[in-house]
Structure formats: structure tokens, C-alpha cells
């Protein structure tokens, strides 16, 4: 089976490859999702030069007689201070909807971040995950499964300019609002470093809503709480090794009087409790936090 390439849109990478699996045996929904995530991991392993050449993978999977689609690609976004950076874009099967910006951990846009983006696409959102380390090392992908990558991740974290990171997220926000498949509504969700940046998106941007998972260092920017004009949700790990209980209490106290802000504390769990496959993953807390996020986005973004 073959397909006619779609027209290239401004800021998007052109198509030079498609993969159709519509003729494969019927798959369960769980198996299809697993296949999608596997392909996302393979796609992310492509070299930067291959990405620059342009590639869009498109997968059709037969689920109980219904053709279900996967549509992921790389896009490039212009930075406010010149240059451009890449972002992983995952489209929902319906081809349109609200946009969720997925803000990375300290490991770059790795398979974990791509899978999270795909999960939002599976829920009906256009998901976009920008490479925020592009000024340091574009395209870097690290793992949380070995000490060498942890050491490199902390180096990147220490070198990262959070002001410029927020600037790049605002550029992503503006890009997302202009997507022809979008409806103009854009929210963000961030994890770890991204959790701090999601908070800063709530204080420094006009994103429609924002969600922070175990944001690190938020207590250093609590003077900005009064700037929050759109809904914000915090997911806080009670035993977070990177966010002491004193810092957690400061964050909770600072946002307590703002009806736009909700904060949930998850007892007995450590940092990154929602990172599937991670050392501190806690299924019960992760599912509860993710269900709250899903309801929050449904309320403020629709799909």
C-alpha cells in the first residue's frame, strides 16, 4: 500500500517515508499502543542528519476492524533570539484538536518524553515536545537507567538557562496556536525540570492551562505567584529527594489563596513517580495524577 505525500507546511519537515501496517492481523488496543510506542522509540533513534533530510512516519493499525493511525514528525520552531530548534509532534487519530506542550525532564526528548507525547495524542490532543537543550547540545537523548547519563543530565541541567527555556516554550506556544490542525487552545505539562518550567509558563505566559509534575526549584520563584491568570495544577511527591518538605510547604502555602491553582501531594512517593519504567515509578500514584491531569485538560482545553 502506498500513499500520496501531504503538502509540506511552513515549519514542518517534508515527507520522504511512510509505513503502512493496515494489512497486518488485527491487534488489541493495548498491543497497538505498544507498537506505536515502539515505533516512536525507533523514530527517535534516527540521526540528526536523517531528521534534517526530513522524515514523517505514518502508521495504520487495524484494531478490531477499525483503522487507527499514528502520525508523528519533527517540526522546527523559530527562537525569539534567532536560530531554530526541533520539536517532536504527535498528532491524534482525528487529525485536529487542542495542543498540549510536553516539557522535558533533564534527559532531553528521549523515548520517555516521546511516549508521553504519544499518550496525549492517543487522548485526542496534538502533542508537541520541544528540544529545550538545543543551545547546549541539540538532539541529545539520555536515559535514566545508567549513571553516565545521569551525570551528563545534571551537567546539562546546571548549564541550562531557564529564562531562555521559557522563551523557547513561549515560541512553541505561539507556533502551536498557529497550527492549522489546532483550535487555538494550548496547555502545557512538564516533568522534573519541565515541572518548574510549567509553573513558569503559568506565571510568564498566556497558555490556557499548565500542569507541573514534581517541579524542582519552584520555591525560588514564588514571588511570581501573583502573575498566574490561568489554571495551574501541581503534582507533588511527598518524599521527593530533590524537593525538600520545607520547599513543598512553601509552594503549597504560596498558591493556597489562588482559586486557579490546585496542588496534590502524593504520600510516600519519590521524585518521578509517574515516569513509567523509572526507579521510583508508582503505578497507583501515577494513574491518579494522570487521571487528574486528563480531567484538568478536558475541562480547560477540551480535545
User: Strand 126-130 relative to strand 182-191: parallel, antiparallel, unpaired?
Assistant: unpaired
Asked if residue 197 has pLDDT above 90, the reply is yes
d(CA 153, CA 169): 20
User: Quick check: 93 and 60 in contact, CB under 8 A?
Assistant: no
Query: Is 118 assigned a catalytic role?
Result: no
**Span 240-281, pLDDT tens digits:** 999 999 999 999 999 998 999 999 999 999 999 999 999 999
pLDDT tens per residue across span 9-19: 334 432 222 22
Please give the pLDDT value at position 43: 45
Q: What distance in Å separates the CA atoms of residue 115 and residue 190, rounded to the nearest whole number?
A: 14
The CA-atom distances, in angstroms, between 146 and each of 150, 208, 233, 278 are 6, 37, 31, 11
pLDDT digits (tens, 9 = 90+) for 119-133: 999 999 999 999 999
**Helix 162-177 vs helix 193-204: angle between axes, to the nearest 10 degrees?**
70
Residue 235 annotated to the active site: no
User: First and final CA of the chain: distance in angstroms?
Assistant: 31
Instruction: Give the chain's domains with CATH numbers.
Output: 72-301 (3.40.50.1820)
Q: Is the pLDDT of residue 183 over 70?
A: yes
Which one is catalytic: 118, 144, 149, 240? 240
* Catalytic residue from among 235, 271, 280, 300: 271
Question: Which residues, 6 or more positions from 155, have their beta carbon under 8 angstroms from its beta carbon?
Answer: none
Question: Could you tell me the CA-to-CA distances from 27 to 21, 24, 91, 260 in Å, in that order?
Answer: 11, 8, 20, 42
Residues 22-58, buried b or exposed e (16+ Cβ, 10 A)? eeeeebeeeebbebbbebbbebbeeeeeebeeebbbb
Amino acid at each position: 500500500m502506498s500513499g500520496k505525500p501531504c503538502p509540506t507546511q511552513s515549519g514542518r519537515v517534508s515527507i520522504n517515508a511512510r509505513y503502512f501496517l493496515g494489512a497486518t492481523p488485527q491487534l488489541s488496543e493495548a498491543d497497538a499502543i505498544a507498537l506505536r510506542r515502539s515505533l516512536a522509540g525507533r523514530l527517535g533513534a534516527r540521526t540528526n542528519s536523517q531528521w534534517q533530510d526530513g522524515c514523517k512516519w505514518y502508521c495504520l493499525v487495524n484494531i478490531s476492524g477499525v483503522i487507527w493511525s499514528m502520525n508523528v514528525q519533527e517540526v522546527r520552531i523559530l527562537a525569539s533570539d534567532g536560530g531554530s530548534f526541533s520539536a517532536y509532534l504527535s498528532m491524534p487519530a482525528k487529525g485536529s484538536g487542542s495542543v498540549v506542550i510536553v516539557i522535558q525532564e533533564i534527559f532531553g526528548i528521549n523515548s520517555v518524553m516521546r511516549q508521553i507525547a504519544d499518550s496525549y495524542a492517543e487522548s485526542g490532543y496534538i502533542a508537541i515536545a520541544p528540544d529545550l537543550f538545543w543551545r547546549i547540545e541539540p538532539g541529545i537523548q539520555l536515559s535514566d537507567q545508567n549513571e553516565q547519563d545521569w551525570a551528563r543530565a545534571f551537567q546539562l541541567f546546571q548549564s541550562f538557562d531557564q529564562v531562555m527555556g521559557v522563551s523557547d516554550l513561549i515560541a512553541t506556544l505561539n507556533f502551536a496556536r498557529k497550527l492549522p490542525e489546532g483550535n487555538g487552545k494550548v496547555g502545557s505539562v512538564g516533568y522534573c525540570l519541565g515541572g518548574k518550567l510549567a509553573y513558569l509558563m503559568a506565571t510568564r505566559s498566556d497558555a490556557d492551562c499548565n500542569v507541573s509534575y514534581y517541579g524542582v526549584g519552584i520555591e525560588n520563584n514564588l514571588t511570581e505567584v501573583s502573575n498566574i491568570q490561568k489554571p495551574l495544577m501541581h503534582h507533588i511527591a511527598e518524599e521527593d529527594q530533590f524537593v525538600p518538605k520545607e520547599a513543598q510547604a512553601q509552594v503549597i502555602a504560596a498558591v493556597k489563596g489562588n482559586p486557579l491553582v490546585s496542588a496534590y501531594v502524593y504520600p510516600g512517593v519519590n521524585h518521578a513517580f509517574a515516569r513509567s519504567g523509572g526507579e521510583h515509578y508508582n503505578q497507583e500514584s501515577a494513574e491518579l495524577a494522570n487521571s487528574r491531569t486528563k480531567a484538568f485538560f478536558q475541562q480547560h482545553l477540551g480535545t
